[in-house]
Amino acid sequence: MNEVQIIGTGSYAPLNIMTNHQLSELVDTSDEWIVSMTGIKERHISQGENTSDLATKAALEALKDANVKAEDIDLIIVASTSPDQFVPATACLVQGNIGAVNAMAFDVSAACTGFIFALNIAIQFLKTGERTRALIIGAEVLSKIVDWTDRNTCILFGDGAGAAILEAGTKKGIISINSASQGQKARFLTCPTVDVKNTFAKGNKDFKSTISMDGKEIFKFAVKIIASSINRILKENNYTLDDIKYVVCHQANARIIDLVVRRLKADKNKFFVNLERYGNTSAASIAIAMDEMNKKKLLKAGDKIILVGFGGGLTYGASLIEWTINK
């Protein structure tokens, strides 16, 4: 069996920034409420770029960072809740855009845990030797599926993409990964596609293809599952939090991360947070955060990090990684 390491990262977010103040002109909210309840100050909102456009820009950055040519990639996985189209997969659009002519390309749908799921799947292909070099991307244009009249949800989300290049070899980078789903809780976070309307089915007049969420249920689930996922991956690998340089949680809400820190009696500075500038970018958030850490040179080869996600499905997952990029 091969080992797998991350050899490059990239990210991209639309240039247009929407502040909490701008949101308060759309719905009955305020900067004070949003900051105190979520930690979010602003988010990037697309002015027309679609998910594959964002994903392509993040992918090109990651290829450059890894010093790898597009034709050397043989697997592309895009995780997204907001794909461009039903068909083709956003991963195929990215493949066409970057010229990764030798890749198999497909999408995964695991909401905010999507990047961890994509990582988990890619690792299996690389470990077995079936593929050699994977491009995995979390990309979202959530602004197209947000109900801009619903103050419970529209204040939370932002658009963006993050990417990583993985390579099979002898050096151990990904120490451990696990992911799981709890479909019995699916109703807590939904975004329908199209209604069933045909000769036999009349369809539903109130049908809306926008995100709806039971915020309190998701909040409770998130705090519990992040804390238990971190504990589990540490225990399974005989590590403690002292061995970990950074924990990168899905960037949904600063209060969720604060409660996890308290529950684990952890050092808050170990938990990387950039949600104040991006909002919740779902499948992209962990990848964007990891790329920011890489760009800011916060990590050096040998550092251990934990990525941990949760989201619609409901889904969750965590990965323990030894950083192998030397800058």
CB of 124 to ligand ACO, least distance (A): 23
DSSP 8-class letter at 323: -
Q: Which is nearer to ligand ACO, 185 or 295 (CB)?
A: 185
Contact between 219 and ligand ACO by CB under 6 A: the answer reads yes
CB of 61 to ligand ACO, least distance (A): 24
Q: Which is nearer to ligand ACO, 37 or 104 (CB)?
A: 37
CA distance 5 to 325: 9
Contact between 218 and ligand ACO by CB under 6 A: the answer reads yes
Token duo for residue 171: 């050096």
Q: Which is nearer to ligand ACO, 127 or 255 (CB)?
A: 255
CA 77 to each of CA 11, 206, 240: distance values in angstroms, whole numbers, following the listed order: 15, 34, 31
Is 322 within 8 Å of 304 (Cβ atoms)?
yes
Contact between 216 and ligand ACO by CB under 6 A: the answer reads yes
Is 65 within 8 Å of 294 (Cβ atoms)?
yes
The 3 state secondary structure assigned to 163-203 is EEEEEEECCCCEEEEEEEECHHHHHHEECCCCCCCCCCCCC
Q: Which is nearer to ligand ACO, 119 or 234 (CB)?
A: 119
- Which of 152, 176, 178, 228 is close enough to bind ligand ACO by CB under 6 A? 152
- Count of residues engaged in binding ligand ACO, rule: CB under 6 A: 23
Q: Which is nearer to ligand ACO, 20 or 95 (CB)?
A: 20
Site string for ligand ACO, 35-64 (x = CB under 6 A): --xx--------------------------
Selected range binding ligand ACO among 14-22, 123-131, 147-155, 294-302, rule: CB under 6 A: 147-155
Catalytic residue chosen out of the listed positions 112, 154, 191, 249: 112
CA distance 101 to 76: 11
- Which of 50, 229, 282, 319 is close enough to bind ligand ACO by CB under 6 A? 282
CA 226 to each of CA 120, 177, 263, 307, 317: distance values in angstroms, whole numbers, following the listed order: 17, 14, 10, 10, 8
- Which of 88, 96, 169, 215 is close enough to bind ligand ACO by CB under 6 A? 215
Amino acid code (one letter) for 133: R
Burial class (CB in 10 A: 0-12, 13-18, 19+), 92: buried
Paired residues of 316 in beta bridges: 180, 310
Q: Which alpha helices (H) appear in the chain, and where do they start and end?
A: 20-23, 31-38, 51-66, 90-98, 114-127, 215-236, 254-263, 275-278, 285-295
CB of 243 to ligand ACO, least distance (A): 28
Is 107 within 8 Å of 90 (Cβ atoms)?
yes
- Which of 4, 59, 112, 136 is close enough to bind ligand ACO by CB under 6 A? 112
- Which of 33, 104, 147, 298 is close enough to bind ligand ACO by CB under 6 A? 33
CB of 155 to ligand ACO, least distance (A): 4
Token duo for residue 115: 């990047």
Q: Which is nearer to ligand ACO, 111 or 135 (CB)?
A: 111
Contact between 317 and ligand ACO by CB under 6 A: the answer reads no
Q: Which is nearer to ligand ACO, 122 or 154 (CB)?
A: 154
CA distance 317 to 230: 9
Contact between 252 and ligand ACO by CB under 6 A: the answer reads yes
Residues 6+ apart with CB under 8 A from 155: 20, 23, 27, 29, 34, 38, 40, 279
Question: What are the residue numbers of the active site?
Answer: 112, 250, 280
What does the binding site for ligand ACO look like in residue numbers (CB under 6 A)? 29, 33, 37-38, 111-112, 151-152, 155-156, 189, 213, 215-216, 218-219, 222, 252-253, 280, 282, 311-312
